[in-house]
C-alpha cells in the first residue's frame, strides 16, 4: 500500500521508499512493504536497517549489532564502479599517480571569467602522459671485480697524476737550493715545469702516458749525457736507464700478474740493473774508517742490490703480485737517496770534478725518472696488456 511523503505529501507506491517527486527517503511502519523488493540499493538497505532497529527498540528487545551491520559502503555494488560520471576520480588525483599515469587538469577559467581556447581533440594516448621510469643499473658482478683486478683497464692513473705534481715541485726546489743563476738550473726548471703542465691538461690515458714518457725520458737522457760531458763516470746513463726501466717493468707485473711479457721485461731490466751494480761495486762497507764518506756510499749500493734481489719475486705465480709495486716505488725512492749522497760527495770534491752544473743536474735526475717510469709502465699496459674494456676518459 502507498504512504504519503513526509516532505511534499506525494503518495509513494508500495514497494518503494524514495519519493518520486522530491526524492526524500520515507521510513515504512510495516516491514511487509519491503517484501516486494528483490534488489535494494545502498540507501535502501540503510533504510531497512533503520526500520528494523526502530521496531526492535519499540518492542524493548534491541537487536545486537553484528559485523555485517554497516552503511553498505563496503559491499560490492550491483553496478560496476565508474558507470556514472559522479563516481569518476578527479583529474590528477592520487589514484592516477599510483597507476603511473598523470592526467592533465582541465583548463582553468581566465581572470575575466571567459574560458581559455579549446585545445584540438587528440587521441586517448596523447591525453595521458605516462611517467618514464629509468631502467635500473645492472649490478657490478663479482666476476667484473675479479676481471678488473686481473686485467685493469687504466692502471696507475692516480699514481701518475700524483707524481706529476710532487716530482716537479721537489726537483725544482732541489735545483734552486743547489744554486741560482746556473745554466743547468734553468734547464732543469724548464724540463720539470713541462711535466707539471702535462698534469694540468685534460688528456686521455694513453696520450698522457706517451707525452710524459717523451718529455721526461728525453730530459733524463739529456741530463745524464750532459753529466758525462762535465766529468761524470760512464755508469751514470746506465743507472738512469736501469732505474727507470726496472720500476716500469715491476709496475706492469703488479698490474698484470698473469702476463708473461711482464716477467720477460722484469728479467731484461733486472739484468741491466745488476750490470750497473757490478760495474760500480763498493767494498768499503766493512772498512775500519768512521767517516761517512767511506761507508755511506757502500750502504747505498747494498740497498740497491737488496731491491734487485727482492725484484726476483716477480717470477712467482699468478695468484699474487709478489709486492712488485712496493719494490718499484722503493727503487724510485732509492734513486732520490742516491742522488743526495752523490751530491754530498761531489760538493766535497770526492769522486769526480766538482762543478756547480754537475751537482745541480745530479739532483734533478730522480724527479725526471719517477714520472717517466710510471708513464712507461702505462704504455706497457696499453700495448702489451689486455685491451681495455672501457672507453678512456680525460682526467
Domain spans in the chain, listed from the N-terminal domain onward: 3-54, 156-384
Mean pLDDT of all residues in 381-392:
60
Helices (H), 179-291: 183-198, 205-229, 235-255, 260-279
Helices within 42-198 (DSSP H only): 42-59, 94-98, 124-127, 142-150, 157-178, 183-198
Q: Mind listing the pLDDT tens digit for each residue in 184-233?
A: 788 888 889 999 998 888 889 999 999 999 999 999 999 998 888 887 87
| Distance (Å) of CA 298 to CA 242, 340, 342, 352 | 19, 14, 12, 17
**Mean pLDDT along residues 241-245:** 94
Tens of pLDDT, residue by residue over 315-345, are 998 888 899 999 999 999 999 999 998 888 8
In terms of Cα–Cα distance, which of 383, 381, 371, 378 is closest to 244?
Answer: 371
Taking only the tens place, the pLDDT of each residue in 270-308 is 999 999 988 887 655 555 566 777 778 888 888 999 999
How many C-beta neighbours within 10 Å does residue 367 have? 30
Question: What pLDDT score does 6 carry?
Answer: 75
pLDDT of 84 reads 53
Residue carrying C-alpha cell 767517516: 291
CA–CA distances in Å: residue 91 to residues 85, 110, 207, 252: 13, 19, 58, 64
According to the model, what pLDDT value does residue 360 have?
Answer: 82
51-64: pLDDT as tens digits? 656 655 555 555 55
Q: Count CA atoms closer than 13 A to 110's CA, side-chain side.
A: 7
What is the pLDDT, as a whole number, of residue 28?
A: 65
Task: Give per-residue pLDDT as tens, 87-142.
Answer: 555 554 444 444 444 444 544 444 554 444 444 544 554 445 455 555 566 555 55
C-alpha cell at 248: 716500469
**pTM score, whole prediction:** 0.60
Amino acid at each position: 500500500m502507498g504512504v504519503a511523503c513526509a516532505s511534499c505529501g506525494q503518495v509513494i507506491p508500495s514497494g518503494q521508499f524514495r519519493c518520486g517527486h522530491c526524492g526524500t527517503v520515507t521510513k515504512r511502519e510495516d516491514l511487509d512493504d519491503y517484501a516486494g523488493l528483490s534488489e535494494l540499493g545502498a540507501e535502501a538497505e540503510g533504510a531497512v536497517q533503520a526500520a528494523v532497529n526502530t521496531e526492535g527498540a519499540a518492542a524493548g528487545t534491541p537487536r545486537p549489532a553484528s559485523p555485517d551491520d554497516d552503511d553498505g559502503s563496503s559491499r560490492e555494488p550491483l553496478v560496476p564502479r565508474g558507470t556514472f560520471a559522479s563516481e569518476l576520480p578527479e583529474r590528477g588525483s592520487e589514484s592516477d599517480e599510483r597507476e603511473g599515469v598523470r592526467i592533465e587538469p582541465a583548463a582553468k577559467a581566465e581572470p575575466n571569467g571567459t574560458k581559455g581556447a579549446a585545445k584540438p581533440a587528440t587521441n586517448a594516448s596523447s591525453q595521458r602522459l605516462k611517467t618514464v621510469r629509468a631502467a635500473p643499473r645492472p649490478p657490478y658482478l663479482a666476476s667484473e671485480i675479479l676481471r678488473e683486478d686481473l686485467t685493469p683497464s687504466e692502471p696507475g692513473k692516480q699514481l701518475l697524476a700524483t707524481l706529476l705534481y710532487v716530482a716537479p715541485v721537489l726537483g725544482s726546489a732541489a735545483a734552486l737550493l743547489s744554486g741560482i743563476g746556473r745554466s743547468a738550473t734553468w734547464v732543469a726548471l724548464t724540463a720539470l715545469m713541462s711535466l707539471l703542465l702535462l698534469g694540468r691538461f685534460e688528456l686521455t690515458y694513453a696520450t698522457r702516458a706517451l707525452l710524459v714518457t717523451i718529455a721526461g725520458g728525453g730530459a733524463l737522457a739529456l741530463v745524464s749525457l750532459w753529466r758525462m760531458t762535465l766529468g761524470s763516470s760512464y755508469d751514470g746513463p746506465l743507472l738512469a736507464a736501469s732505474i727507470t726501466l726496472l720500476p716500469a717493468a715491476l709496475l706492469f707485473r703488479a698490474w698484470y700478474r698473469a702476463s708473461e711479457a711482464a716477467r720477460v721485461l722484469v728479467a731484461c731490466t733486472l739484468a741491466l740493473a745488476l750490470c750497473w751494480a757490478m760495474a760500480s761495486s763498493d767494498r768499503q762497507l766493512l772498512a775500519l774508517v768512521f767517516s761517512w764518506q767511506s761507508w755511506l756510499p757502500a750502504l747505498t749500493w747494498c740497498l740497491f742490490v737488496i731491491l734487485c734481489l727482492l725484484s726476483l719475486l716477480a717470477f712467482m705465480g699468478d695468484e699474487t703480485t709478489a709486492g712488485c709495486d712496493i719494490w718499484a716505488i722503493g727503487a724510485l725512492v732509492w734513486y732520490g737517496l742516491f742522488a743526495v749522497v752523490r751530491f754530498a760527495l761531489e760538493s766535497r770534491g770526492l769522486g769526480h770534478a766538482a762543478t756547480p752544473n754537475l751537482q745541480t743536474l745530479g739532483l734533478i735526475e730522480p724527479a725526471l725518472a719517477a714520472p717517466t717510469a710510471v708513464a712507461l709502465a702505462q704504455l706497457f699496459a696499453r700495448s702489451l696488456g689486455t685491451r681495455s674494456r672501457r672507453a678512456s676518459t680525460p682526467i
